[in-house]
Amino acid sequence: MSHSKSYEFLLKDISTLKQVGQKTKKLLKKKKIETLFDVLWQLPQAFVDRSNLININKLEIGKICTIKVQVIKLNIPRIRNLPNTVRCEDSTGKIDIVFFNSREGYIRKLLPLNEWVIISGKVNFYNKKYQIANPAYIVPLEKENFVKKVIARYSLTEGITEKIYRNIIEQVLQKLPFLPEWHDKNTMENFDNKSWRESILDLHNPRVKQDFQSNYFKRLAYDEILSSLIVLSQIRKKIKKIIKKPKKFRNKLSKKIIRNFRFQLTKNQIDIINEINKELSSQSKMFRLLQGDVGSGKTIVALIAAANVIESGYQVAFMAPTEILANQHYSLANRIFSETKIKTDLLTGKTNFSERKKKNNALKENYTNIMFGTHALFQKKTEFGNLGLIIIDEQHKFGVKQRMELSKKGGEDCDILVMSATPIPRTLIMTFYGDMDISKLIEKPSYRKEIISLSKPETKINEVINFIKKEVANKNQIFWVCPLINESKKLDYEATVKKFEYLNKIFTGKVGLIHGLLKNEQKEIVLKNFLNKKIQILVSTTVIEVGIDFPNANVIVIENSNKFGLSQLHQLRGRIGRGNMQGTCILLYKKNLSANAKKRINILKSTNDGFKIADEDMQLRGFGDILGYKQSGIKEFKLADPIHHNKLFKMAEINIKEIENRKLDLKKYEPLIKLYDKAEIINQID
């Protein structure tokens, strides 16, 4: 096919461009630019008007100007720290071109004595003279039109000048292929029939206003959304095609377990258990996401499913992101399985060699029924005799690709259940989890008291301390969270240490500290001390994972709470109130809260519903800021924005359902998928 070649052009390595050597390639890689296609998504930050040639006597200080001048004198002092200067003039005046850190040879080549040149840069006034320091452009007269333009300015990495970058983007735009249209007529009407190529050109065109509601922008955003849905739909289709051996069980074990609970399962839990049971005993492979707030009772649901799988003769792997979490699940399982003959075991990175060997043997022999652990569970040496279900907890660090790999790992007969407490706004569920079936736990266990959320200015910290004194006296435990101030681990460390010292003066010997510079093992020691109540107050940045059960922690103090997103505050708050005591969340803030910050705090006070909070968060902060998504690597859109392009997301959902229901041919989407599916999940479209 001739056009398939054209999209392939865009997948070429960046170094195939002229004037892109290994050095530039490395610098671009830092910006995640590796192929020609990647270049297209580095959006212009601004446009610089260099189009007017100005006489020296008309120059405006502080502005970017373009001048046509003759070189009249070079001043190369050859003394360290003194800049090289080149005096130039036109018929109306003189100007100094100043170079810091430029070699003499380079300057002489750019500005040969007596020659006329075009120079563009920001004009300063220094020592009663005009000057331009390190101009962006110096070109001979014949290249005047290369500079005399409105030029798109990109955010550049160090080492890449505007000129070099422009050269790169212009080379790509010039050769931009005409791709066959993949959208149907109806869809295209929404974008005034803007083709992909036209849209990309508009995106980089200084004369076209950057506006996310314009046709070109919406078209490109839609491409992104739809490609993601198609990829997920393809994965889903592949999984649905698998025919597995149904699991046979009579709920004997699970009934026994449920009878022994001190509580009643909620209706929501029962419904989901039934849904899962039906799927386990069917011929189709389960690939299901169990979504619900922290503490909504997901783990219990998963363990009941596990019991059924075990009753049918299969084994279960239960994977947690950290050792502590694996431990917690393991001991919870030991408690609830205590009346049964289910054999549990635990395998983590800490398990030593000889123990590991024994455990692995027991697994292989199908002696162990359920194995808990961290990712150590899926090392090559660990073999299950008859694995029938993989359960994964807190998978928000898992991308689509990892999910896929995991689903392959267990083999065709193995079902997959993934649990997540990351609240996802409704608009995004399909784009994130379109490959999976979803069960949602919304109802909370009834005994659980709503956490009381309060906000206080930091000036009233004494009141907070007094409150904490009472809690400490009552043997309760407290989280004290300091926000990540910036990307610098060192500064965050210093801020948490300060807080630790302050609190430790008041509550001597009762305070622990966790910060980003601690190694995982060190972190786990502190967390264990907190779990075992050796310490009562835990100062931390947001580095502790969600999901750990601290039944005795019922107060959380969040400093600078206005710096956190709603969803993040909600997640933090979810760490307390897991036992049956009243939980209190204290949101500290510095004076002068913005209207937006006030709104956030009020929403948090008014509801405990994670989904609602995620939606509100998105409305208030915009997609890019919602915590967890960027860091989680779940998915990052280049242009599509779930708030501004809400309609497009809905449109894409309808579109993909139509494709699925009518079994439409996906061949025409091939360029779209090949270009946008960075993880290269889909090798073949069918």
Q: How far apart are CA 218 and CA 519, in angstroms?
A: 44
Q: What are the C-alpha distances in Å from 223 to residues 180, 188, 193, 436?
A: 13, 11, 13, 21
Q: For residue 592, how many other CB atoms are within 10 A of its CB? A: 8
Nearer of residues 441 and 514 to Mg ion, judged by Cβ? 441
Instruction: Looking at residues 67 to 126 of the shown chain, list those that interact with ligand ADP (rule: CB under 6 A).
Output: none
Q: How far is the CB of 261 from Mg ion (least distance, A)?
A: 17
Nearer of residues 292 and 671 to Mg ion, judged by Cβ? 292
Size of the site for ligand ADP (CB under 6 A): 16
Which partner from the list ligand ADP, Mg ion, none does 300 bind, CB cut-off 5 to 8 Å by kind? ligand ADP
Nearer of residues 267 and 519 to ligand ADP, judged by Cβ? 267
The DSSP H or E segment spanning 456 is strand 452-457
For position 299 contacting ligand ADP by CB under 6 A, the verdict is: yes
Nearer of residues 24 and 420 to ligand ADP, judged by Cβ? 420
DSSP letters of 533-557? Answer: TS-SEEEE-TTSPTT---TTEEEEE
Task: Assess contact for 673 and 247: CB atoms under 8 A.
Answer: no
- Applying CB under 6 A, which part among 154-162, 297-305, 354-362, 432-440 lies near ligand ADP? 297-305
- Applying CB under 6 A, which part among 22-30, 121-129, 262-270, 361-369 lies near ligand ADP? 262-270
Q: How far is the CB of 287 from ligand ADP (least distance, A)?
A: 19
Q: How far is the CB of 534 from ligand ADP (least distance, A)?
A: 22
- Applying CB under 6 A, which part among 119-127, 260-268, 426-434, 669-677 lies near ligand ADP? 260-268
553 forms bridges with which residues in the sheet?
477
Figure out which of the listed residues 447, 449, 664, 665 binds ligand ADP, where binding follows CB under 6 A.
447
For position 260 contacting ligand ADP by CB under 6 A, the verdict is: no
Q: How far is the CB of 64 from Mg ion (least distance, A)?
A: 55
3-class state of residue 378 by DSSP? helix
Q: Provide the strand spans (E) within 468-614.
A: 477-481, 511-514, 537-540, 553-558, 584-589
Which partner from the list Mg ion, ligand ADP, none does 263 bind, CB cut-off 5 to 8 Å by kind? ligand ADP
The DSSP H or E segment spanning 303 is helix 298-311
The contacts of residue 66 (CB under 8 Å, 6+ apart) are: 50, 51, 52, 53, 54, 118, 119, 120, 137, 147, 148
The contacts of residue 53 (CB under 8 Å, 6+ apart) are: 66, 67, 68, 118, 148
Q: How far is the CB of 547 from Mg ion (least distance, A)?
A: 4
Q: How far apart are CA 226 and CA 234, in angstroms?
A: 12
Q: Which residues bind Mg ion (CB under 5 A)?
A: 547
Q: How far is the CB of 268 from ligand ADP (least distance, A)?
A: 9
Figure out which of the listed residues 100, 126, 263, 367 binds ligand ADP, where binding follows CB under 6 A.
263
3-class state of residue 408 by DSSP? helix
Q: How far is the CB of 273 from ligand ADP (least distance, A)?
A: 11
3-state helix, strand, coil in the chain (%, to 5): 45, 20, 40
Q: How far is the CB of 266 from ligand ADP (least distance, A)?
A: 5
- Applying CB under 6 A, which part among 202-210, 292-300, 378-386, 651-659 lies near ligand ADP? 292-300
For the stretch 401-404, contacts whose Cβ atoms lie closer than 8 Å and that sit 24 or more positions apart, written own/partner, are: 401/679, 401/681, 403/435, 403/436, 404/235, 404/435, 404/681
Q: How far is the CB of 394 from Mg ion (least distance, A)?
A: 7
For position 445 contacting ligand ADP by CB under 6 A, the verdict is: yes
Tokens of 140: 């001979």
DSSP letters of 457-486? Answer: EGGGHHHHHHHHHHHHHTT-EEEEEPPP-S
Q: How far is the CB of 255 from ligand ADP (least distance, A)?
A: 16
Figure out which of the listed residues 24, 66, 85, 296 binds ligand ADP, where binding follows CB under 6 A.
296
Tokens of 446: 């009834």
- Applying CB under 6 A, which part among 128-136, 163-171, 258-266, 315-323 lies near ligand ADP? 258-266
| Length in residues, the chain | 686
Tokens of 135: 């101009």
Q: How far is the CB of 419 from Mg ion (least distance, A)?
A: 7
For position 583 contacting ligand ADP by CB under 6 A, the verdict is: no
Q: How far is the CB of 604 from Mg ion (least distance, A)?
A: 21
Nearer of residues 260 and 459 to ligand ADP, judged by Cβ? 260
Q: With CA atoms as reference, report the closest residue to 525 among 534, 516, 517.
A: 534
Nearer of residues 327 and 431 to ligand ADP, judged by Cβ? 327
Show the site string, 345-384: x = touches ligand ADP by CB under 6 A, - = not: ----------------------------------------
Figure out which of the listed residues 294, 513, 586, 588 binds ligand ADP, where binding follows CB under 6 A.
294
Start-to-end C-alpha separation, the chain: 17
For position 297 contacting ligand ADP by CB under 6 A, the verdict is: yes
For position 300 contacting ligand ADP by CB under 6 A, the verdict is: yes
Helix axes 298-311, 267-280, angle to 10 degrees: 30
* Nearest residue to Mg ion, scored by beta-carbon proximity: 547
**How would you classify the pairing of strands 315-319 and 584-589?**
unpaired
Residue whose pair of structure tokens reads 């967890």 in the numeric block: 628
Which partner from the list ligand ADP, Mg ion, none does 297 bind, CB cut-off 5 to 8 Å by kind? ligand ADP
For position 265 contacting ligand ADP by CB under 6 A, the verdict is: yes
Task: Assess contact for 379 and 356: CB atoms under 8 A.
Answer: no
- Applying CB under 6 A, which part among 28-36, 145-153, 204-212, 265-273 lies near ligand ADP? 265-273
Q: In angstroms, how far apart are the furthest CA atoms of the chain?
A: 99
Q: How far apart are CA 349 and CA 334, in angstroms?
A: 20
Q: How far is the CB of 567 from ligand ADP (least distance, A)?
A: 16
Residue whose pair of structure tokens reads 């609190």 in the numeric block: 503
For position 575 contacting ligand ADP by CB under 6 A, the verdict is: no
Q: How far is the CB of 20 from ligand ADP (least distance, A)?
A: 50
- Phi and psi, residue 400, nearest 5°: -55, -40
- Applying CB under 6 A, which part among 132-140, 290-298, 581-589, 596-604 lies near ligand ADP? 290-298
Nearer of residues 255 and 598 to ligand ADP, judged by Cβ? 255
Which partner from the list ligand ADP, Mg ion, none does 447 bind, CB cut-off 5 to 8 Å by kind? ligand ADP
Figure out which of the listed residues 292, 373, 565, 610 binds ligand ADP, where binding follows CB under 6 A.
292
Q: With CA atoms as reference, report the closest residue to 220 among 253, 257, 270, 182.
A: 182
Q: How far apart are CA 227 and CA 601, in angstroms?
A: 36
For position 334 contacting ligand ADP by CB under 6 A, the verdict is: no
Q: How far is the CB of 445 from ligand ADP (least distance, A)?
A: 3
Show the site string, 522-561: x = touches ligand ADP by CB under 6 A, - = not: ---------------------------x------------
Tokens of 471: 């809690």
- Applying CB under 6 A, which part among 83-91, 259-267, 278-286, 339-347 lies near ligand ADP? 259-267
By CB under 6 A, name the binding residues for ligand ADP.
263, 265-266, 269, 292, 294-300, 445, 447, 549, 578
